[in-house]
Structure 1
Amino acid sequence: MAGCGPVWLVAGLADVVAALALTPTTLRPRPRHHPSPQDGAAFIQPRRRRVTTLPPAPRPCTSCPYKRDTPSGIWSPEEYAKLALYDGPTWSQPPRLFQCHVHDHDADGVRVCGGWAGCHDMAESLSLRLAVECGQIGPHIAQAILDYESPAPLFTSGSEAAAHGLRDLHTPGPAARRAINKITRTRTDLT
């Protein structure tokens, strides 16, 4: 099980989780090769801080783009465009876990988005398979994501959620403006 091999892309997620549970040593961070002058690099890049990824919160946040009762127009068009990408077949999905929008994306203890986990078929999720195989999350977090059921009503697809979110993008209502203000006060990584 060295590296993120293609064999894990075709294996079922339950098989990956079970295999990793039997071999906990595979969950250690793998050493990374850093560029050196011998490689022709002018400098050594600093190592990125490892971020702890937590399972979804018990219920999606109030501004979750997947929730049916979230006001339209809160997030940027680029953020809404990401939602539909997870609707496709496994091989065409984005490789990164979809994180909760309420937290800074580089903060320690960032959560997987509850709306994302509840809306999409996580057994067919490329990003979940890769996160397990590459050691970003352990088997217990993967199982929590697989088992997640949202207590709040969600859209049936990322495309449906995106269409709702984009509807009032240029004229967000009072509830959307309140949510935007709250998020910009909370997050430090927004521009």
Structure 2
Amino acid sequence: MSDPDQPERVCRTRPCPACPYRCDVPSGVWGAEEYAKLLAYDRPTGEQPLAAFACHATPQRLCHGWAVTHSNRGHEHELLALRLLGLTPPDGPGPVPLFESGQQAAEHGLRDPLPGPDAIRAIRRLRRYPRLAADPDTP
């Protein structure tokens, strides 16, 4: 039986609907601290966090957007966490455009200081997930 608080050693096959790496997710869906986490994975491999990045919506899986975005930046920036887990990233972004870096994703996510109507709709959809509905820090 798997621990629901620990991600499986498997990436999602596609980005979740509110993935911070998706170009079509409105700005402001996630809090600033969540967008700040994306930046550390832009560093050269040896300077990256050891921890894998779990999906926000389905945390038992690794984030597809994280794995694809940070695995398309050349050998010097391969994901250390995927190496340590012995995983290879998913093939390509799939049908949804992704930002080219954590920096781009974070800048987009932080662009609007207050969530607009589209972001508010996305946040309401996310609150259907029990772990996000119970977290007072989730937008």
**TM-score strictly above 0.5:** yes
Q: Which residue of 2 aligns with 1:8?
A: none
RMSD: 2.1
Matched, 1:118 2:68: yes
By percentage of residues, which structure has more helix? 1
SS at match of 1:86: helix
Identity %: 45
Paired AA for residue 92 in structure 1 = E
Q: Mark the structure with the bigger radius of gyration.
A: 1
TM-score using structure 1 length? 0.60
Where does structure 2 lack aligned partners over 5 or more consecutive residues? none
Distance in 1 (alpha carbons) for counterparts of 2:99 and 2:39: 11
C-alpha separation between the residues in 1 aligned to 2:44 and 2:9? 25
1:162 maps to what in 2? 106
Tell me the alpha carbon deviations over residues 127-169 of structure 1, each in whole angstroms, 9 at most, x when there is no partner: 112233xxxxxxxxx13x2x4311211111000000000011x
| 1:35-84 Cα shifts (integer Å, max 9, x gaps) | xxxxxxxxxxxxxx584515233321110100100110011111100111
What letter corresponds to residue 121 of structure 2 in structure 1?
Answer: R
Moved over 3 A (4+): 49-52
SS at match of 2:128: helix
Q: Could you tell me which runs of 5 or more consecutive residues in structure 1 were left unpaired when the two chains were aligned.
A: 1-48, 133-141
The question of 1:182 aligning with 2:138 is answered: no
Count of aligned pairs: 127
Structural mapping, 1:1-191, within 5 Å: 49=3, 51=6, 53-103=8-58, 105=59, 110-121=60-71, 124-132=78-86, 142-143=87-88, 145=89, 147-151=90-94, 152-168=96-112, 170-188=113-131, 190-191=135-136
